[in-house]
Each structure stands twice: as structure tokens, then as C-alpha cells.
Amino acid sequence: MASLRDLRRRIKSIKSTQQITKAMKAVSAAKMRRAQESVLAARPFARRMRDVLGRVGSASVGLKHPLLAVREPNRVAYVIVTADRGLCGGFNANIIKKAVQEMKDRPNVEVVTIGRKGRDYFRRRGYNIAQQYVGIGETADIGLARRVAKFVMDKYAAEEYDEVYLIYSQFVNVLVQKPVVQKLLPVEPPEGEDDGKRVDYIFEPDAEQIMGRLLPMYVENAMFQALLESKAGEHSARMTAMDNATSNAADMIDRLTLSMNRARQAAITKEISEIVGGAAALE
């Protein structure tokens, strides 16, 4: 059995850790609320963007654009969005696991990593990392989304990639974050919601120029939405993990306090027994 001094030292250490996890939970909760507001505010725009792309795409059948070109998927790139830091439960591990499952049957794969955790994992295992982005901060950055989107669009237009997929964690609620795989390139315009009626549009300027502006905007928005979803999920996962850590620390303190009280009681009982035994011997 551990000595009273060791038990007191362990209790003091765990209490210090509990204070840290409690503070981290409070910080993550504040960041999570801001990130949640951002992602919920951005979703309507993303839906309208898909709707507009679907309507314009259905009205301009046969239009040729580099981002619409469909090729045999011999060279595939995966943009993987993880966090820079850990201490967020299985958030990073779930995304990486999903990415590995998607890439295991692909012979010629390149990886674009966003976040230090994904970069470190795939670099240690010898994956071909085409581009890496670390130090992405605590909030989603539209500038970063545009840089990543431009990189993959340039590669795709130059026919260095035949397909590009985006893997990130979708924010469902505070307790649930779901890793998803989204096909980014070639752009596949969704079907427009026109109630089954075909609408003839008059384009000004022509459809080619409109799609030339709309398609890159769609890719950039998809990338930015992925960053927003990922940040909201990261802060939620970290808040939940720190809450669990704080509760576990409290349980450990209770168990160690019970052990310390038992050890102290045993020591007192031993001392009393020795005094009684000594008094009896003197008689």
C-alpha cells in the first residue's frame, strides 16, 4: 500500500490537473459557441450556392470547362482536414481512419493536409504529401480556403489530378462529429430544384463566362465550409474530452482520498495497538 505522503502527493497532482482540464473546458466552450454560430450561419449560403450551380448547370448542358472535365481516375488527391492540436478525444483519429479507408485501394494517391495532426500521421507513414498547411489557428480562414482551392484547381486543370476528394469532420451537434468524404473535382452540379420544370435562362454575359466564375467560387465555398465544420467539431470534441477528464479526475481524487483515509486509520490503529501492548507489558 502506498504511504500517506505518496497518496497526498498524488491527490495534489491530480487536483492541479483537474484545474487545467476545467479551464480548458471553459475556453473550448467559448470557442465552440462562436464556431457553431459561424457554421450555422454559413450553411444557408452553401445550400443556395449548390442550388444556383445546379440550375445554371442544367440550363447549360454541354458546356465545357476544365473543372467539369471527367477523366479516368488514375491520379487522385485527397484534401484531409484535421486539427493542429490534440486533447480532443477521437476527433483527429476518426478523420484519419476514414481517410486511410478511402485511400487503401487507390494505387496513385497524393495527400493535401490541413492541420498538423494529419500532416504528422501521413508523413510518418510515407504518404506522398503534395502540400501541407499547418498553424491554421482557432477559427476558419477564408484566405486559407482560397489558397487550398486554388492549389487543387490548378493541379486539376493541368491534368495532374483526375479526381480530388475532401475529407473532413461534419459538425452534427456538440456530442457528434461525423467524418465525411466529399467529391470536390470534377465539379458535379447537383440537379436544380425546379419542380420538374425545365427553365430556359438568358445568360448575360454568356454561360461559359458565368460558369467560369461560378465553379471556382463553388470550390472555394466548399473548402471554407469544410474548415468551418471542422473547427466547430474540434472545439466541441475538445470541450467534451476536457469535461470527461475533469470528471475522471474527481473520481480519482475520491478513490485516493478513501485510500488515504484507510491508510491513516490503519496507522492510527497500529499505534494504539502498540501503546496498549506496551502498557500491558509494563504491568
**The three three-digit cell numbers of residue 60, written as one number:** 447549360
Helix (H) or strand (E) holding 202: none
- Alpha carbon distances (Å) from 22 to 17, 30, 88, 169, 198: 9, 13, 14, 25, 57
The residue written with cell numbers 476514414 in the block is 98
What are the backbone angles phi and psi of residue 37, rounded to the nearest 5°? -60, -40
Is 24 among the catalytic positions? no
Residue 246 corresponds to which amino acid? Answer: T
Computed on alpha carbons and rounded to an integer, the radius of gyration of the chain in Å comes to: 28
* CA nearest neighbour of 227 among 164, 173, 160, 147: 147
- The one catalytic residue among 35, 88, 145, 166: 88
| Residue 270 CA to its chain's centroid (Å) | 56
What are the backbone angles phi and psi of residue 183, rounded to the nearest 5°? -75, 120
152/130 Cα distance (integer angstroms): 10
Neighbours of 104 (CB within 10 A): 8
**The three three-digit cell numbers of residue 137, written as one number:** 489557428
- Alpha carbon distances (Å) from 147 to 124, 133, 223, 230: 25, 10, 10, 17
Query: Kindly report the CA angle at 189 between 184 and 193, in degrees rounded to 5?
Result: 135
Catalytic residue numbers read 88
